[in-house]
């Protein structure tokens, strides 16, 4: 089967022969041809084809009109600035001279999340510490009343006993039933 080789732009391996091209092949490279991306040999082939083919001439006219319309659209674009605003230029220089601050500013969401996490952890840690401190301070402690040294100050012993008895949570060990008499110590022990 004798198949017509496809024409291709300069950048591809191309058929350099002067065989007749199909319209389909020509149209595939019309834009390349019109924008001077085809080599001279292939451009000659396209030119030659266009001289005889009205359909392909119409295709060229369509592309040309499209390009003209695009250019006219571009001409009506007013107000595209030629320069960056002074504010933007200063911002660039600032970013170059303060890279860390710039990074923080540009990643403010991430930074905010990290800061929030740190604050939450710090608050949590403080609350936990307070809780531990409270627990420690409310743990069962033993107070010895009537220590031999206190015998010299009976007023202190009496005061302590009065205060302890006023607290509902305190039970005097001496009040507990079945408490054996201590012979080694002369003191009473309370737990709360």
Partner 1 sequence: MLDVGMSETQKRLRAERIQAFDAIVSEYEGTLLRYVARIVYDYDVAQDVVQETFIRLFKNWRDELQSSPQILSWLYRVAHNCAVDHLRKEFRRNILHIRHARERQEFIPPNRGEGFHISEAAEKAAGVLRKLSLREQQLVILKVYEEKSYREISDITGLTVSNVGYILHYAMKKMAEELKKVRAI
Q: Please check whether residue 176 is in contact with residue 188, taking contact to mean a CB–CB distance below 8 angstroms.
A: no
Give the shortest CB-17-to-partner 1 separation in angstroms.
20
Q: Please check whether residue 19 is in contact with residue 42, taking contact to mean a CB–CB distance below 8 angstroms.
A: no
Does 104 bind partner 1 (CB under 8 A)? Our answer is: no
Judged by CB under 8 A, the stretch of 18-26, 57-65, 140-148, 169-177 that binds partner 1 is 57-65
Q: Please check whether residue 102 is in contact with residue 151, taking contact to mean a CB–CB distance below 8 angstroms.
A: no
Does 154 bind partner 1 (CB under 8 A)? Our answer is: no
Give the shortest CB-52-to-partner 1 separation in angstroms.
22
Q: Which of 123, 119, 141, 120 is nearest to 131 (CA)?
A: 123
Cα distance between residue 103 and residue 95, in whole Å? 8
Q: Which of 48, 3, 4, 38 is nearest to 22 (CA)?
A: 4
Does 78 bind partner 1 (CB under 8 A)? Our answer is: yes
Does 57 bind partner 1 (CB under 8 A)? Our answer is: no
Backbone angles phi, psi at 176, to 5 degrees: -65, 140
Does 82 bind partner 1 (CB under 8 A)? Our answer is: yes
> x/- string (CB under 8 A) for partner 1, residues 18-37?
----------xxxxx--x-x
Does 109 bind partner 1 (CB under 8 A)? Our answer is: no
**Residues engaged in binding partner 1 (CB under 8 A):** 8-9, 11-12, 28-32, 35, 37, 62-63, 65-67, 69-85, 88-89, 91-93, 95-99, 102
């Amino acid at each position: 089967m004798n198949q017509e080789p496809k024409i291709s732009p300069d950048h591809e391996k191309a058929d350099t022969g002067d065989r007749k091209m199909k319209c389909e092949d020509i149209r595939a490279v019309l834009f390349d041809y019109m924008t001077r991306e085809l080599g001279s040999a292939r451009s000659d082939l396209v030119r030659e084809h266009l001289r005889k083919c009205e359909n392909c001439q119409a295709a060229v006219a369509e592309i040309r009109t499209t390009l003209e319309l695009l250019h006219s659209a571009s001409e009506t674009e007013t107000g595209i600035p030629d320069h960056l605003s002074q504010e933007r230029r200063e911002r660039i220089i600032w970013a170059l001279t303060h890279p860390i601050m710039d990074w923080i500013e540009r990643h403010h969401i991430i930074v905010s999340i990290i800061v929030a996490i740190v604050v939450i952890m710090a608050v949590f840690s403080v609350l936990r510490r307070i809780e531990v401190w409270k627990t420690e301070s409310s743990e069962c402690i033993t107070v010895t009343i009537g220590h031999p040294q206190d015998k010299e100050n009976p007023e202190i012993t009496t005061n302590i006993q009065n205060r302890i008895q006023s607290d509902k949570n305190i039970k005097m060990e001496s009040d507990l039933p079945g408490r054996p008499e201590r012979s080694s110590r002369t003191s009473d022990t309370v737990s709360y």
